Structure 1
Amino acid sequence: MSENVNISLKLFIEYLQIEKNYSQYTIEHYQTDIKGFFMFMAEQGLKKLNDVEYMDVRLFLTKLYQEGLARKTIARKISCLRSFFKLLVREGMVNDNPFQLTSIPKGDKRLPQFFYEEEMEQLFNSVEVDTALGQRNMAILEVMYATGIRVAECASIQLSDIDLDISVILIHGKGKKDRYIPFGSFAHDALLKYCHDGRLKLQKEKSNHLFLNHRGGALTDRGIRGILNKLIEKSSLEGGIHPHKIRHSFATHLMSNGADMRTVQELLGHAFLSSTQIYTHVTPDYLKKTYNQYHPRA
């Protein structure tokens, strides 16, 4: 592979960081996707990015399907590579974009996975709050469930973003889009306890980051994912487990209890209402309650 390939990857990463303001987590995924395509190029004897043609892209797409990857994963890889080559065309590093005419496979329409309210209670009960790290973990869990924020958004919270007097938090979302989100009494109490006790014990030097790691530095989104995964495993909850499930639970519980979609859209920070519409599903408990209330022979 030519040195120009590595230069192009570095240029793309800078583009994602500066122009697109993507999170480090997203950038790492994109970087992995592009390196995977570089490996495919090496297998096919393609030494330069300008050597890639549409038929090579079709062959690459076939390879992804043969690997049994989910449609959503394949769609992300194709979208990433399309953006990658689009930037290179703009910068005059390649002549054309071989991914331009490649259709992105439509993802399967699946209901978002979420925790039931009883399961969330089980998750909260699994956290020990008699240590500084335990208080921090409880604050993270309470804040994420109270606000529905993304893991990366949680990691970026500064002390100055929190107003405990009126229980409101300023979230710096994707694309530099800020939004204010209220939080309830449980999150308020957890934050108060953490800030006045646990955080002071963790802090080694002055820092404005709300959540700190065991060394006193800023907790990263990767660190938060690790913490949440351990809490979920410790609670013995079954089924698919991942931190984003807490965000799904936040939206599902709001919608099931009567919140309107526009409000949920604003709280989640979705640019389009269509992104929020996946939460219009209802839980079996809500269905049964509605059925018993309205059916004449329930």
Structure 2
Amino acid sequence: MIIAQFLTYLQHEKRYSPHTIQSYKTDLLQFSEYMQQTFELPLTEVGYVHVRNFMVTLLEEHVSENSVGRKLSTLRSFYKHLSREGLIPVNPMTLVKAPKVPKRLPVFVDDQKLDVLLDSGEFFDDTFPSVRDKLVIETLFGTGMRLAELLSLKESDIDFYGATVRVLGKRNKERIIPIGKVLGDQLKAYIDLKTLQNFNNKTGVLIVTDKGAPAYTKLIYRIVTSYLTNVSTQDKKSPHVLRHSYATSLLNRGADLNAIKELLGHASLAATQVYTHNSVERLKSIYKQAHPKA
């Protein structure tokens, strides 16, 4: 099946993460099902008009412009690969334009709210699940790493002497992230407590479930969402929000944009510059509150 062959290509040659590959798979299966049910066409016989109909149908079903754009991006990669392999005569994505997406600022949680959550002593206890949950939030906010990077992080990736963690990012690109003393101490305490649980954890993965198995995506989402609910009323409460919070906090405290880019593992500065908008909005808010002519 050409979808399976394409996913294998993404895994072994492009070295995409399992999470990204799953997203591609979901999009392609949805598109394939639509083509079969609506036009009775195999993917190799799809044309521009069929893709356009698919896009219009999604928008009519109130799928967001962001989601539609992502699905079209998946199809572009897919058909570019088929064209390169000589499996289709014409690339149907050549003339397809994605819908305009309104610019949205990254959602983040204020430092003060995270301080209340992590330092008040109100929300966590000394049990293993609670210590683990707190470490998950501390690590995401204290390093800005992605969810997939956290899930793959191993105890051996932590350099306590150098106060750094080694992270394997997108496309197997490695980077070193410094950690503060508080996070370093919590990592030590968590690992000691995990050792006392006598888990049979042969993988060496840092974050594990209550029974010692490697943590998974839904568990981390559940941890982050449940605890952020205690201090934030905003709708979006995901691991990526803590990554945004990390970057925004650094920028608000004068960190160099290029340094933030390296810490986040962004391929280009353009991806990092979105955080400057949050910083400008914060300055505007301060101005309006403090200046007599505002």
Residues 292, 71 of structure 1: alpha-carbon distance in 2 compared, 3 angstrom cutoff: closer
Distance 1:97 1:264 in 2: 38
Write out per-residue CA displacement over residues 64-105 of structure 1, whole angstroms, 9 at most, x where no aligned residue: 221222221111100101111222223333322211221223
Residues 1:150 and 2:146 aligned together? yes
Gaps of 5+ in 2: none
Residues 9, 199 of structure 1: alpha-carbon distance in 2 compared, 3 angstrom cutoff: farther
Distance 2:203 2:153 in 1: 12
TM-score (normalizing by structure 2):
0.90
Residue identity in the other structure for 1:11:
Q
- Does the CA-based 8 Å contact 2:114-2:231 persist in structure 1? no
Task: Give 2:232's aligned residue.
Answer: 237
| Alignment partner of 2:9 out of 15, 18, 25 | 15
Equivalences for residues 212-223 of structure 1 within 5 A: 212-223=208-219
Distance 2:159 2:125 in 1: 22
Distance 1:161 1:54 in 2: 47
Secondary structure of the equivalent of 1:282? helix
Task: Give 1:78's aligned residue.
Answer: 72
Residues 1:272 and 2:286 aligned together? no
Distance 1:184 1:93 in 2: 52
Task: Give 1:282's aligned residue.
Answer: 279
TM-score (normalizing by structure 1):
0.89
Write out per-residue CA displacement over residues 16-38 of structure 1, whole angstroms, 9 at most, x where no aligned residue: 21122222222222211111111
Task: Give 2:167's aligned residue.
Answer: 171
Residue identity in the other structure for 2:189:
K
Distance 1:202 1:252 in 2: 39
Equivalences for residues 1-298 of structure 1 within 5 A: 7-124=1-118, 125=120, 127-201=123-197, 203-233=199-229, 235=230, 237-240=232-235, 241-280=237-276, 281-282=278-279, 286-287=283-284, 289=286
Residues 9, 236 of structure 1: alpha-carbon distance in 2 compared, 3 angstrom cutoff: same
- Does the CA-based 8 Å contact 1:128-1:135 persist in structure 2? yes
Runs of 4+ in 1 over 6 A off after TM superposition: 290-293
Residue identity in the other structure for 1:176:
N
Percentage identity across paired residues of the two chains: 35
Distance 2:44 2:285 in 1: 59
- Deviation of the 1:149 alpha carbon: 0.6
Residues 211, 161 of structure 1: alpha-carbon distance in 2 compared, 3 angstrom cutoff: same
Distance 2:79 2:285 in 1: 51
- Does the CA-based 8 Å contact 2:169-2:175 persist in structure 1? yes
Distance 1:296 1:229 in 2: 39
Write out per-residue CA displacement over residues 142-196 of structure 1, whole angstroms, 9 at most, x where no aligned residue: 1111111111011111111101122100111101111101011221121111011
Secondary structure of the equivalent of 2:165? strand
User: After alignment, is 114-123 or 256-265 more displaced?
Assistant: 114-123
Gaps of 5+ in 1: 1-6
- Does the CA-based 8 Å contact 1:74-1:105 persist in structure 2? yes
